[in-house]
C-alpha cells in the first residue's frame, strides 16, 4: 500500500497566516480582510495499520467486510420473511408486537450490515493517508474537471472498488435487496377488494327507506315541507360495520319545491315525488359535502371551492370547478307514505377517478 503521508510538506501550505489587503477595485463595504493567525499544526505522524504491513491481515479484513454485507442481505430476507410469518391481526396487540419486533430486527441487520461494512472497509483497507483539499471557486475549469476525473480514478484505485470484486459484488447485492421490504410493505397497503366496484355502488337499493341523518328515523313525504331540506342516509346504515365508508358515498340531500319548478330530462320524469328530489351530497369536484341550500334560487353550494348546482335542472353545474352534476337518487313512496329509493344511484357519486366510464 502506498504511503502518501507527508506531514511536513502537506501542512506547509494550509492555513499559513495570511494577510490580505483590500483590492483597489473592490466595492466599498464588500471586501473582506482576512488575517488567519492560527498556525497550521500540520498532520499528526502517520501510524501504519496492521493491514498496511501484513497482506494476510488485509485478506482477513476483506472477508469480514464481505461477511457484514452478506449479513445485510440475510437481514433483508429475514425482514420480509418476518412480515409474512407474523401478520398483524386487527385488535391483537401481540401480533402487532411480534410483527414490529422481527421486522425491526431484520431491517436493523440489513442497514447495520451495510453501514458497518462500509466503515470497516474504509478503515481497514482503503488508503489511510491524510488529504488536503484546497478551497476553490465554484466555476469549474477544464483543469478542475480533469482533476475530478483523476479523483474518481484514484478513489477507485485506492478503495479497490474495481479490483476487490468480492466486496464490490456483495455490496451491490446488499444495496439491491435493501429496498425490497419497502416494496412488500407498500404493496400490502393496497385494498384487498377491487376499489372500483366499491366506488360504483352505495348502500342505496330498490325500496330502501330514506332516513334522517344521524338518527336513522324514516321520513314521510308529508314531513318534507316546501322549501325544507333534509340530510339523509339509507335505512340500516347505522348498523353497517363500515358505517363511515358507506356514509361517505351514500349521504344525500332531500329538498322539496314546486313540481312545476323541476325540469326533468327524458327518462327521469318519475325520479322525483311531488316536487321532492334527492341528490348526492358528495361534491363532484373533490368530494366535500355540498350542504348549503339556497331556498329562493334552489341552488346548492359547495363551501370548499364554491361550486354551485341548480336543483331545478338536475343539479347541473352553474358555477365553480366541479365538472359534473350531482347524481340524483330516484325516489318514490311506499304503501305507508315513507320515502324510498327506486334504485341505487345510476352513476358513481363523488369526484372522478381513472376507471370511471360515465
Nearest alpha-carbon partner for 253 in 176, 327, 158, 143: 327
How many residues sit in the footprint of ligand FES (CB under 6 A)? 11
- CA–CA distance, 161 with 4 (Å, rounded to integer): 19
Which one of 204-212, 258-266, 303-311, 333-341 is the stretch in contact with ligand FES (CB under 6 A)? Answer: 303-311
Dihedral of alpha carbons 100, 101, 106, 109, sign: positive
- CA–CA distance, 91 with 84 (Å, rounded to integer): 18
Nearest alpha-carbon partner for 128 in 66, 49, 10: 49
302 binds ligand FES (CB under 6 A): yes
> Could you tell me the smallest distance in angstroms from the CB atom of residue 347 to ligand FES?
17
Out of 67, 111, 229, 286, the only residue in the binding site for ligand FES (CB under 6 A) is 286
Rg (CA), the chain: 37
12 to 37, 56, 323: CA distances (angstroms): 14, 36, 73
**And the C-alpha cell for 75?**
437481514
Nearer to ligand FES, 216 or 321 (CB): 321
- CA–CA distance, 160 with 2 (Å, rounded to integer): 13
285 binds ligand FES (CB under 6 A): yes
> Could you tell me the smallest distance in angstroms from the CB atom of residue 108 to ligand FES?
44
288 binds ligand FES (CB under 6 A): yes
- CA–CA distance, 305 with 145 (Å, rounded to integer): 53
- CA–CA distance, 304 with 277 (Å, rounded to integer): 23
Stretch 308-337 residues interacting with ligand FES (CB under 6 A):
320-322
Nearer to ligand FES, 256 or 324 (CB): 324
> Could you tell me the smallest distance in angstroms from the CB atom of residue 316 to ligand FES?
14
**And the C-alpha cell for 69?**
454485507
Nearer to ligand FES, 281 or 298 (CB): 281
- CA–CA distance, 275 with 298 (Å, rounded to integer): 12
Write the binding mask 118 to 147 for ligand FES: x where contact by CB under 6 A, - elsewhere.
------------------------------
> Could you tell me the smallest distance in angstroms from the CB atom of residue 349 to ligand FES?
13
Angle at 40 between CA 34 and CA 42, to 5 degrees: 155
304 binds ligand FES (CB under 6 A): yes
112 binds ligand FES (CB under 6 A): no
Look-up: residue for cell 468480492? Answer: 166
Nearer to ligand FES, 124 or 284 (CB): 284
- CA–CA distance, 117 with 67 (Å, rounded to integer): 8
Question: How remote is the C-alpha of 7 from its chain's centroid?
Answer: 51
Q: For residue 115, give every residue at least 6 positions away whose Cβ sits within 8 Å of its Cβ, in sequence order, or none.
A: none
292 binds ligand FES (CB under 6 A): no
Stretch 235-274 residues interacting with ligand FES (CB under 6 A):
none
Dihedral of alpha carbons 346, 351, 357, 358, sign: positive
> Could you tell me the smallest distance in angstroms from the CB atom of residue 307 to ligand FES?
3
> Could you tell me the smallest distance in angstroms from the CB atom of residue 226 to ligand FES?
27
Which one of 18-26, 86-94, 170-178, 300-308 is the stretch in contact with ligand FES (CB under 6 A)? Answer: 300-308
Out of 307, 324, 327, 329, the only residue in the binding site for ligand FES (CB under 6 A) is 307
Nearest alpha-carbon partner for 353 in 293, 282, 303: 282
Which one of 184-192, 194-202, 299-307, 339-347 is the stretch in contact with ligand FES (CB under 6 A)? Answer: 299-307
Nearer to ligand FES, 264 or 321 (CB): 321
Nearer to ligand FES, 66 or 307 (CB): 307
Q: Give the DSSP H/E element, type plus range, for residue 71.
A: helix 55-85
Which one of 38-46, 94-102, 138-146, 282-290 is the stretch in contact with ligand FES (CB under 6 A)? Answer: 282-290
Q: Which residues bind ligand FES (CB under 6 A)?
A: 283, 285-286, 288, 302, 304-305, 307, 320-322
Amino acid at each position: 500500500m502506498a504511503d502518501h503521508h507527508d506531514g511536513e510538506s502537506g501542512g506547509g501550505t494550509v492555513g499559513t497566516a495570511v494577510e490580505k489587503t483590500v483590492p483597489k477595485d473592490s466595492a466599498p463595504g464588500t471586501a473582506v480582510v482576512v488575517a488567519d493567525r492560527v498556525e497550521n499544526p500540520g498532520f499528526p505522524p502517520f501510524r501504519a495499520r496492521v493491514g498496511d504491513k501484513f497482506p494476510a491481515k488485509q485478506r482477513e479484513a476483506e472477508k469480514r467486510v464481505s461477511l457484514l454485507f452478506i449479513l445485510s442481505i440475510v437481514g433483508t430476507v429475514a425482514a420480509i420473511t418476518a412480515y409474512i410469518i407474523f401478520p398483524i391481526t386487527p385488535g391483537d396487540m401481540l401480533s402487532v408486537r411480534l410483527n414490529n419486533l422481527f421486522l425491526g430486527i431484520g431491517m436493523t441487520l440489513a442497514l447495520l450490515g451495510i453501514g458497518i461494512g462500509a466503515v470497516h472497509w474504509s478503515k481497514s483497507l482503503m488508503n489511510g493517508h491524510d488529504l488536503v483539499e484546497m478551497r476553490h471557486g465554484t466555476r469549474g475549469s477544464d483543469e478542475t474537471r480533469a482533476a475530478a476525473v483523476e479523483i474518481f480514478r484514484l478513489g477507485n484505485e485506492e478503495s479497490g472498488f474495481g479490483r476487490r470484486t468480492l466486496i464490490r459484488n456483495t455490496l451491490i447485492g446488499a444495496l439491491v435487496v435493501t429496498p425490497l421490504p419497502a416494496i412488500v410493505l407498500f404493496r400490502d397497503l393496497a385494498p384487498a377488494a377491487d376499489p372500483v366496484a366499491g366506488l360504483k355502488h352505495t348502500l342505496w337499493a330498490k325500496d330502501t327507506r330514506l332516513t334522517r341523518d344521524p338518527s336513522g328515523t324514516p321520513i314521510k313525504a308529508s314531513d318534507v315541507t316546501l322549501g325544507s331540506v333534509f340530510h339523509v342516509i339509507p335505512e340500516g346504515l347505522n348498523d353497517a360495520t363500515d358505517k363511515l365508508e358507506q356514509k361517505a358515498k351514500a349521504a344525500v340531500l332531500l329538498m322539496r319545491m314546486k313540481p312545476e319548478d323541476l325540469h326533468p330530462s327524458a327518462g327521469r320524469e318519475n325520479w322525483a315525488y311531488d316536487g321532492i328530489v334527492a341528490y348526492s351530497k358528495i361534491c363532484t369536484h373533490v368530494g366535500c359535502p355540498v350542504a348549503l341550500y339556497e331556498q329562493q334560487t334552489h341552488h346548492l353550494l359547495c363551501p370548499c371551492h364554491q361550486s354551485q348546482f341548480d336543483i331545478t335542472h338536475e343539479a347541473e353545474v352553474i358555477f365553480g370547478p366541479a365538472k359534473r352534476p350531482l347524481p340524483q337518487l330516484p325516489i318514490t313512496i311506499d304503501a305507508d307514505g315513507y320515502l324510498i329509493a327506486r334504485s341505487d344511484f345510476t352513476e358513481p357519486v363523488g369526484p372522478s377517478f381513472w376507471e370511471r366510464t360515465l
